[in-house]
Structure 1
């Protein structure tokens, strides 16, 4: 159902305050959808058959989730005391979950969108009393390997660092473009700015002609996609030499900004404009590919670059025989008529126009 609303009076008030009109969008969530989000923050008990996979990531009713087994048996107290690491929590559809399905295990699984890293676990104490308590758990290494998260499979040192420094909120933000619904905790991380920050940000971005100082994209027609970044990380230091105008994608890839999310619609528009403005025409190597692609594709790209000698096109349109755009994959090889796509539906779309394709999940699990 489409809702038509006249925002004329709103924009009139905006102009009276000396501000300017800007593009904006909003989504309406039903009460049922909001209830699901509330339940997932607390944790929802499911069967493995209820679990979905989106590009190799675990999902439930369209939301990215974590999965863990609350029951820690007789060693629950040692996990609570920090003497034992306990069961790992899962972030991807790894071989361990495949093994559980094949064995027909009927453990009580819980999915959650809680980003704290603290989970409600249970078990039996040595005196046979039931215990429930919160405890920190570690991420499953098989999940990190399957997803090739941040190049996890590149070497022992990389594996150790990535595992030990793993952050759930960073992980969710990396794949934010793959999901319509994002955890509320990810959306509530905007604080610490000075009262006049909105005007400082607008004035600085305008002084840079609405051009990203990193990738060079011109966002004069999409000003909401250009952010103002504090180089030092101090949100109160608003001197010009501590500011940078960055598109949403480049901003999210800055050091200590891993928790910044970018919506699919935003990334799609940024890539479309980069392509139109020639920024993606000739990328000099894989480092440039990794710099410009959607962060959700990093694991896939790092896996492909081990064996592929040819560079992919980034964000290039694929047309049918009538010249109509049917799909714009993040990674494609036009000369070979091959692309990496998000899901089976997109794979079928390319098959119909004579292209070969693999889904992200197929590449990661191959």
Structure 2
């Protein structure tokens, strides 16, 4: 909380320092303004039969669940297709949210065995869940091929001075890994490893309102990531490869829904998961208000860039070049400046009320 107080005070100083010249400024910086918005979508059906979480995806319920699209690079089309395929499935019932993943890999390894270690230092599979889609208070879960896990809550994205709560735990979670081949054995060639997870609804309620679990038609923002290090075999062991200067090569980040930038903690670009009480043949419902929320997110990006250039926020739409934002009709939000930041509001396209976003990226709906 101390860090947040310091941030608020700092923003207040920046706002009060805004000069007459900067109040007339027009945004010049294009940073973060060109991130594409093409989130993946998945229909999560209700499981007809019980699921045994053992890492083997042969349950009858899993046979009925569709696979997702194959993972892409975190930057999307800016990078080449990943060298190894990854895909996921999802199901739910009265007690759990189930996730299954298949990670193709010809050399499977893992070192970390301590719970809540920084698992992405190994090759890993990661889950990100934002039930209410406000980009604040969301879950992160990581698992490696040894079934070692790390669970945490993020108060808000790091870019907005959020922090992680590593001490948070998921009582009752079920996790399992199945290795098709061997682990930590460079002398052979492996096929894949599969992950099976069951998140209890009673834990996921902490970041969701008004109820712990979804109802038919509920849509959550979710994404998945696979961290894959570039390795070589030295003295019979897997070792992370280094460049000519002795610096470790960066990891690959492969995801279900592309982020457009190397940053998993931008929840606004995660995919959509729609929960259905049917067992098949449901249809994904497009929500018109997602266009409103994305337009407000563009405003947020532009306010951040304007602040960096001019040391203050602005309530002038023309200064933020909002006419460039793609929107059904004219995008004319109401922007109110406060000592600590701003609030921008835009009417809903589908219900009576409006959506608002503020300087720390939090977005919410207010009924009329």
TM-score class, shorter: under 0.3
With the length of structure 2 as denominator, give the TM-score of the two structures: 0.25
With the length of structure 1 as denominator, give the TM-score of the two structures: 0.25
Query: Of Structure 1 and Structure 2, which has the larger fraction of its residues in strand?
Result: 2
Query: Of Structure 1 and Structure 2, which has the larger fraction of its residues in helix?
Result: 1
